[in-house]
């Protein structure tokens, strides 16, 4: 039954854990004249096992789809978002279980007629949308899906999704020639909800979050390995602080092109990926900050290169939408036969940092200890597993998905296909990890920091 005098609109948050520059929040607020609230649905089993590839029928692996640390990082982001909704007089309901049932129950409780959402439209998210739309329809509630997780809006891209080029450079050239990045959308005015509704949502959320699995996840996210160069907290305020430091206080952005292949230390790259992956920061907000830096300080190859990397992110978001189920198939989007065997013993040695290859082992130890890994190290450990050891690349992609606090479906599975030679790398090369170690870790600092 509706408690509100006029319909509220509900925002189903997924990888958009922010109020500003959020298409779903803005549209919901516009349609309900500011009467909006949010919901986030956690999985029924936070330690649900990872699966080879994706989809319900793939065989389960012996580790969770999201590590406790990654879940803890998500909770940090969500709890800050909940406080933001509350500070504006509204509420974020944190629910758990079947998304359709939970969202329908919350929408009915609030008297909402519309639910707005903005996920990256990969295979699972699309299926989830259909299930939620079906659960809402009998109650006369509509699911409105917004298509906005990228820096270049999908509607501004020079390519329709099914015409996305197979090679990144063709995409980049066309975008750089004909597209500009839209300005971030301002946070809408939110109207206060009745106190009883807010209290009810808060109480239900607190009950969900009190589960022991979430306490363990919070603890895992707060433990920082003494060797870790960079402690990362999921909340948006921490992402904004990182921009302040890396752009404005240290000017490290102005040297990014030279430092980006670094392996040791906090500042060789932006380290913005964990906040971008959960959407506590939007790529347009980062692009706007790059443009401001270029106006106020310096515009050089490094500032260009950061935007260039954000375009890679866009490319893989469009890529995973284009290829749907094929993004998770062993044969990849090229339909090539990969070298991959499901050699569980070799995979276990790799993920525990026991391959005997010091550069690879250092990377795998860092990943397990921190949930973070530089791009250079990711390329090397991935190439070694998929091409040198000849193990099914999807095992590696599933392990990264479990461990990385910046896990993002398109960039992860797309980069894995690329490195494994079944995706979009026109060069199809294997990394010589010893030559790479000599070049990028000449004095062995990285190897010694994380090695046995």
Ligand X SMILES: Cc1cc2nc3c(=O)[nH]c(=O)nc-3n(C[C@H](O)[C@H](O)[C@H](O)COP(=O)(O)OP(=O)(O)OC[C@H]3O[C@@H](n4cnc5c(N)ncnc54)[C@H](O)[C@@H]3O)c2cc1C
Closest approach of Cβ 315 to ligand X, in Å? 7
User: Is residue 310 near ligand X by the rule CB under 6 A?
Assistant: yes
Using the minimum distance from each CB to ligand X, give the nearer residue, 312 or 440: 312
**Could you say which of 27, 68, 419, 437 contacts ligand X (CB under 6 A)?**
419
CA angle (15, 369, 54) in 5-degree steps: 45
Question: Could you tell me whether strands 8-12 and 36-42 are parallel, antiparallel, or unpaired per DSSP bridges?
Answer: parallel
Is residue 374 within the footprint of ligand X (CB under 6 A)? yes
Q: Which residues pair with 11 in a beta bridge?
A: 38, 116
- As measured in angstroms, the least distance from the Cβ of 280 to ligand X is 12
Quick one: tokens of 168?
């990144």
Smallest gap from residue 88 Cβ to ligand X (A): 28
Residues in the chain: 452
CB of 256 to ligand X, least distance (A): 7
- Cα separation, 77 vs 248, whole angstroms: 23
Rounded least distance, CB 49 to ligand X, Å: 19
* Residue 407 touches ligand X, criterion: CB under 6 A: yes
**Closer residue to ligand X, CB minimum distance, 309 or 432:** 309
Closer to ligand X by CB, 71 or 270: give it: 270
CA-based torsion, 61, 62, 64, 69: positive or negative? negative
Least Å distance between CB 436 and ligand X? 13
Would you give the binding string for ligand X spanning residues 255-284, x where CB under 6 A is met?
A: -----x--------xxxxx--xx-------
Neighbours of 296 (CB within 10 A): 10
d(CA 322, CA 324): 6
Q: Does 15 bind ligand X (CB under 6 A)?
A: no
- Of 272 and 333, which has the nearer Cβ to ligand X? 272
Phi, psi of 279 (to 5 degrees): 75, 20
Nearest residue to 184 (alpha-carbon basis) of 298, 309, 25: 25
Using CB under 6 A, which of 408, 424, 436, 441 touches ligand X? 408
Q: Using the minimum distance from each CB to ligand X, give the nearer residue, 327 or 404.
A: 404
Nearer to ligand X, 12 or 268 (CB): 268
Residue 316 as a binder of ligand X (CB under 6 A): the answer is yes
Q: Does 302 bind ligand X (CB under 6 A)?
A: no
What lies within 8 Å, CB to CB, of 107 at 6+ separation is 10, 115, 136, 139, 141
- Residue with smaller CB distance to ligand X, 142 or 375: 375
**186 phi-psi bin (left φ>0, alpha ψ -120 to 50, beta other):** beta
Please state, in angstroms and rounded to a whole number, the distance separating the CA atoms of residues 215 and 217. 5
Q: How far is the CB of 427 from ligand X (least distance, A)?
A: 14
Rg, Å, the chain Cα set: 22
| Out of 187, 261, 267, 309, the residue judged to bind ligand X by CB under 6 A | 309
Contact 317, 15 (CB under 8 A): no
98 binds ligand X (CB under 6 A): no
Residue 350 in the binding site for ligand X (CB under 6 A): no
Query: Does 197 sit near ligand X (CB under 6 A)?
Result: no
Nearer to ligand X, 38 or 396 (CB): 396
* Per CB under 6 A, 404 contacts ligand X: yes
* Choice between 85 and 431, CB closer to ligand X: 431
Q: In what order do the strands lie in the sheet with 112-117?
A: 92-96, 36-42, 8-12, 112-117, 142-145
Tell me the C-alpha distance between 198 and 113, whole Å: 18
List interacting residues with ligand X (CB under 6 A).
Answer: 260, 269-273, 276-277, 306, 309-310, 312-313, 316, 374-375, 378-379, 382, 400, 404, 406-408, 411-412, 415-416, 419
């Amino acid at each position: 039954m509706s408690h509100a005098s006029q319909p509220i609109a509900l925002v189903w948050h997924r990888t958009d854990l922010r109020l500003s520059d959020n298409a779903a929040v803005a549209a919901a607020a516009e349609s309900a004249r500011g009467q909006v609230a949010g919901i986030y649905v956690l999985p029924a089993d936070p330690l649900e096992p990872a699966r080879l590839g994706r989809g319900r029928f793939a065989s389960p692996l012996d580790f969770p789809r999201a590590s406790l640390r990654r879940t803890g990082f998500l909770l940090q982001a969500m709890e800050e978002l909940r406080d933001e909704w509350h500070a504006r007089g509204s509420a974020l309901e944190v629910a758990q279980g079947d998304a359709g049932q939970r969202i329908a129950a919350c929408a009915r409780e609030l008297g909402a007629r519309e639910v707005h959402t903005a996920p990256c439209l990969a295979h699972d998210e699309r299926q989830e949308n259909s299930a939620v739309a079906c659960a809402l329809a009998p109650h006369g509630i509509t699911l409105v899906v917004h298509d906005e997780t990228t820096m270049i809006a999908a509607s501004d891209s020079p390519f329709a999704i099914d015409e996305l080029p197979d090679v990144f450079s063709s995409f980049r050239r066309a975008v750089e020639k004909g597209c500009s990045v839209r300005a971030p959308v301002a946070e809408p005015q939110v109207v206060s909800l009745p106190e009883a509704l807010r209290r009810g949502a808060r109480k239900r959320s607190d009950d969900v979050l009190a589960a022991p699995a979430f306490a363990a996840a919070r603890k895992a996210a707060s433990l920082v390995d003494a060797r870790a160069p960079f402690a990362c907290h999921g909340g948006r305020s921490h992402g904004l602080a990182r921009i302040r430091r890396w752009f404005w206080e240290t000017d490290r952005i102005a040297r990014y092109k030279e430092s980006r292949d670094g392996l040791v230390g906090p500042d060789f790259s932006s380290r913005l990926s964990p906040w971008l992956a959960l959407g506590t920061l939007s790529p347009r907000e980062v692009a706007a900050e790059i443009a401001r830096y270029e106006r106020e300080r310096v515009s050089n190859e490094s500032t260009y290169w950061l935007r260039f990397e954000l375009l890679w992110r866009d490319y893989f978001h469009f890529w995973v939408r284009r290829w749907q189920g094929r993004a998770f198939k062993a044969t990849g989007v090229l339909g090539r036969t990969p070298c991959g065997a499901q050699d569980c013993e070799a995979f276990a040695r790799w993920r525990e940092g026991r391959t005997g290859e010091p550069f690879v082992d250092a990377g795998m130890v860092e990943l397990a200890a921190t949930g973070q890994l530089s791009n250079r190290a990711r390329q090397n450990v991935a190439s070694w597993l998929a091409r040198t050891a000849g193990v099914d690349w999807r095992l590696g992609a599933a392990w990264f998905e479990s461990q990385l606090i910046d896990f993002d479906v398109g960039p992860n599975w797309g980069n894995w296909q690329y490195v494994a030679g079944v995706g979009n790398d026109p060069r199809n090369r294997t990394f010589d990890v010893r030559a790479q170690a000599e070049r990028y870790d000449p004095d062995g600092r990285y190897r010694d920091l994380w090695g046995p």
